[in-house]
């Protein structure tokens, strides 16, 4: 970004605006600028709902521009921003954070602040998705593979700013479709929410793919997970919790779940369930124990629940294996 930079507050920029379209949750502005050394157009399309706000920004100016924003809702938002082209820079001075995005790159961040600066070149096009934190964290909680460190950072109000990430064709199409579709009314609202969920899914998948790289598990970590597996094999009839296992093996819960699945191809509790069923089969067939006795040993309060799990594993009920 060159030194020839024209600075303006966002509210002053709005003073030049001409609204060209608006509905209950959609607004479109064309900011025709004639201000000293700054000439050109700054256009915005805005979709706003209770759970998210999307801004499509395009500028065609005679000068580079710095826009100073004051957004009181930003401290409660998780943001995913795509640079359509060619490049722009965003600065969060309070937290001394800076990102520069080039064409077809995106980043995501959580910055508990209300002020930031956007430095744009003469021609630029970007799309900014701001997601209400509660909406985003509820999605994370619903996923067994969710990156829980994000939720912890939200809870502690710690700033987070990713590096730039290449936006593949799926990500770019999801952003494009939000503002370029022929739908109207409630059907359009449903379509846009689906696209927002697509974008979030692709962003989370990028985190998971990065964390699942072979380099992400060291030999020491692998030894820990094999030790965990051996411990579970020897304590199948005992009750386990993620918190307890995390403390015992000195590894955080998210890494515990992710690493175990990465090495053994299943979750910790599904592994425990399958091994308990194998042990149950052996105890009933070879140990001469009754189904109710084995059910209690495996921690089931309801024998019918045990029988259902056993049948799901072996295709027959536990009472049938001796017949």
Tell me, what's the pLDDT at 312? 79
Q: What is the DSSP letter of 321?
A: T
Q: Distance between CA atoms of 82 and 103, rounded to whole angstroms?
A: 8
Contact 257, 249 (CB under 8 A): no
Angle formed by the axes of helices 268-285 and 253-264, to 10°?
60
Contact 79, 131 (CB under 8 A): yes
> pLDDT tens across 83-110, in order?
998 889 898 877 777 888 888 889 888 8
Q: What confidence category does residue 66 fall into, taking pLDDT thresholds of 50, 70 and 90?
A: confident
Average pLDDT, the chain: 83
How, if at all, do strands 5-9 and 64-70 pair?
Answer: parallel
How, if at all, do strands 26-35 and 17-22 pair?
Answer: antiparallel
Q: Omega of the bond prior to 129 within 30 degrees of 0, cis? A: no
Name the β-bridge partners of 27.
Answer: 22, 46
> pLDDT tens across 156-190, in order?
777 888 777 888 889 999 999 999 999 988 999 99
Q: Distance between CA atoms of 156 and 70, rounded to whole angstroms?
A: 22
Range in 64-68, 207-211, 280-284 with the lowest mean pLDDT: 207-211
> pLDDT tens across 227-265, in order?
898 899 899 888 899 999 998 988 888 888 888 887 776
323 pLDDT exceeds 60? no
Sign of the dihedral through C-alpha 198, 201, 206, 212: negative
CATH classification for the domain delimited by 216-320, as one of 3.90.550.10, 1.10.10.60, 3.10.180.10, 3.40.1190.20: 1.10.10.60
> pLDDT tens across 291-308, in order?
888 888 888 888 888 888
- Looking at the chain, the whole-number percentage of residues with pLDDT higher than 70 is 87
Average pLDDT estimate for 207-211: 65
Angle formed by the axes of helices 253-264 and 242-249, to 10°?
90
Of the candidates 171, 79, 91, which has an alpha carbon nearest to the alpha carbon of residue 132?
79
Most confident of 9-18, 140-149, 244-253: 244-253
Tell me, what's the pLDDT at 82? 95
Domain positions in the chain: 5-211, 216-320
**What ranges in the chain are assigned the alpha helix state H?**
10-14, 133-141, 148-155, 169-179, 185-211, 219-234, 242-249, 253-264, 268-285, 291-297, 303-314
Reading the block at residue 82, the tokens are 């795509």
Alpha carbon of 15 to those of 8, 10, 19, 29: distances in Å? 11, 9, 11, 11
How, if at all, do strands 160-161 and 105-110 pair?
Answer: antiparallel
Average pLDDT estimate for 24-41: 77
Please state which CATH class domain 5-211 belongs to.
mainly beta
Q: What confidence category does residue 151 fall into, taking pLDDT thresholds of 50, 70 and 90?
A: low
Tell me, what's the pLDDT at 214? 44
Tell me, what's the pLDDT at 215? 46
313 pLDDT exceeds 50? yes
Tell me, what's the pLDDT at 1? 43
Range in 33-37, 139-143, 145-149, 168-172 with the lowest mean pLDDT: 145-149
Q: What confidence category does residue 2 fall into, taking pLDDT thresholds of 50, 70 and 90?
A: very low
Tell me, what's the pLDDT at 132? 93
216 pLDDT exceeds 60? no
Tell me, what's the pLDDT at 220? 73
User: What is the per-residue burial (b if ≥16 Cβ within 10 Å, else e) of 80-107?
Assistant: bbbbbeebbbbbbeebebebebeebbbb
Q: How many other CB atoms are there within 10 angstroms of residue 159's CB atom?
A: 15
Q: Distance between CA atoms of 259 and 184, rounded to whole angstroms?
A: 45
Tell me, what's the pLDDT at 3? 44
- Looking at the chain, the whole-number percentage of residues with pLDDT higher than 90 is 22
């Amino acid at each position: 970004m060159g030194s020839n930079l024209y600075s303006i507050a966002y509210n002053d920029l709005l003073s030049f605006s001409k609204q060209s379209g608006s509905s209950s949750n959609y607004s479109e502005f064309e900011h025709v600028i004639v201000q000293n050394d700054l000439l050109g157009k700054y256009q915005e399309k805005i979709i706003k709902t209770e759970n998210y706000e999307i801004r499509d920004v395009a500028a065609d100016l005679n000068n580079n521009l710095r826009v100073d924003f004051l957004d009181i809702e930003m401290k409660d938002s998780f943001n995913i921003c795509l640079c359509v082209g060619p490049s722009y820079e965003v600065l969060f001075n309070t937290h001394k954070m800076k990102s520069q995005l080039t064409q077809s790159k995106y980043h995501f961040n959580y910055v508990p602040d209300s002020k930031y600066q956007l430095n744009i070149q003469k021609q630029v096009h970007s799309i900014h998705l701001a997601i209400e934190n509660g909406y985003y964290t509820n999605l994370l909680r619903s996923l067994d593979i969710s990156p829980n460190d994000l939720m912890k950072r939200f809870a502690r109000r710690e700033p987070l700013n990713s590096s730039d990430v290449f936006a593949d064709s799926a990500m770019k199409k999801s952003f494009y479709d939000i503002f370029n579709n022929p739908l109207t009314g409630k059907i359009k609202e449903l379509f846009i929410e689906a696209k927002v969920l697509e974008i979030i899914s692709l962003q989370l998948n990028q985190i998971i793919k990065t964390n699942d790289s072979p380099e992400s598990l060291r030999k020491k970590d692998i030894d820990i997970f094999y030790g965990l597996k051996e411990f579970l094999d020897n304590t199948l009839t005992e009750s386990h919790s993620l918190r307890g296992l995390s403390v015992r093996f000195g590894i955080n819960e998210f890494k515990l779940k992710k690493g175990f699945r990465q090495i053994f191809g299943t979750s910790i509790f599904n592994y425990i369930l399958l091994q308990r069923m194998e042990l149950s089969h052996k105890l009933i067939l070879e140990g001469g124990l009754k189904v109710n006795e084995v059910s209690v040993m495996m921690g089931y309060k309801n024998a019918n629940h045990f029988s259902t799990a056993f049948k799901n594993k072996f295709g027959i009920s536990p009472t049938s294996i001796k017949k």
